[in-house]
Amino acid sequence: MNYGALVFLGAFVAVSLSWFGMVLSPQVQLGRQTQGTNSVNTAELYPVQRPGLAREGLEVYRANGCVYCHSQQVRQSGTAVNVILTDAGTNAAAAADALMKSRAGVTDANAVGLSAGLPKAILTDVDVDRARAAVEALTSAGAKAEIEIVPVGTDIAWNWGIRRSVAHDYLYDSPVLLGSLRVGPDLANVGARLPDANWHYRHLYAPRSVVEGSAMPAYPYLFERRPIQGQPSPDAIESKDGFEIVPTSEARALVAYLLSLRADVPLFESPVSVEPPPQETADTNSAAGTNVVSPQASASAQ
């Protein structure tokens, strides 16, 4: 009996299902993403299109092979949930008693000296349910507290970012320059970490002049030496013997791109605590300390 047609049909179905699951489904999910943020103290949407000069700089970044030695993907190993007491209220003893009677798991040791040294963490690295119970107990006793979401991991400790990178961060990037090797540091948040354009110019021209022992090659061809006309240019990295070293248009574009690399906005899928809004504009939920907790944070804190 000839099973050729059946084998062909089975293979076709298997390939089709794989294509739907691995190609079409992710494209539908990611293709529908829009700007957004779950940060309570800003109405700004995230991400935004990079300015024109920064988009030009992306091509300079690609052309010079920066992606071969730098990644743009911050990783984290978990999330810590803390309870921060900001105001013990008018009756610190009542607040301490309410805490100990709640499901928060607070002991006498936590409650001693509750009002001293505020703001301070009274519970650290707990699950979200315990954190919420503590905040509710304190609020009922006239105190004020908030839940603090703290991403943790090696990349976070190295100050490469404040949270893990997610697909939302790359919404307007094409191509996405994730990188796969870290000869140099991750650059996903370098614009927030190193916001000084002149520092980047000096680093490109002579890396070891600003970073001792840097393995990065110099890019002198991104600069030009020209006679000083009147006063030295404000972005000249060196002025000597009547000449100055200034960045070319390519260097300016590349630095504009580096400064545009910022991933410091809390997202639903990658939460992190932020500074609270001014008291007069804070909403009820923020005052109760539930400003940036998401279901993902609850799951990762278990």
Q: What are phi and psi of 155, to 5 degrees?
A: -60, -40
Question: What pLDDT shows up at residue 288?
Answer: 36
pLDDT band at 295 (very low <50, low <70, confident <90, very high): very low
Q: What are the sequence ranges of the domains in the chain? A: 52-67+165-260
The pLDDT score that the predictor gives to residue 60 is: 97
- 237-264 pLDDT, tens digit each: 988 888 999 999 999 999 999 999 998 8
Query: Average per-residue pLDDT in the chain?
Result: 81
pLDDT for 156: 94
CATH superfamily membership of 52-67+165-260: Cytochrome c-like domain (1.10.760.10)
Q: Which of 112, 50, 75 is nearest to 259 (CA)?
A: 50
More confident residue, 29 or 167: 167
Can you give the pTM of this predicted structure?
Answer: 0.75
pLDDT value at residue 293: 38
Helix, strand, or coil here: 239?
strand
Question: 85-134, pLDDT tens digit by residue?
Answer: 888 888 877 877 877 776 566 666 555 677 778 888 888 888 888 888 88
- Tell me how far CA of residue 84 lies from CA of 80, 88, 146, 219, 237, in angstroms: 13, 11, 5, 47, 45
> Predicted confidence band at 62 (pLDDT cuts at 50, 70, 90)?
very high
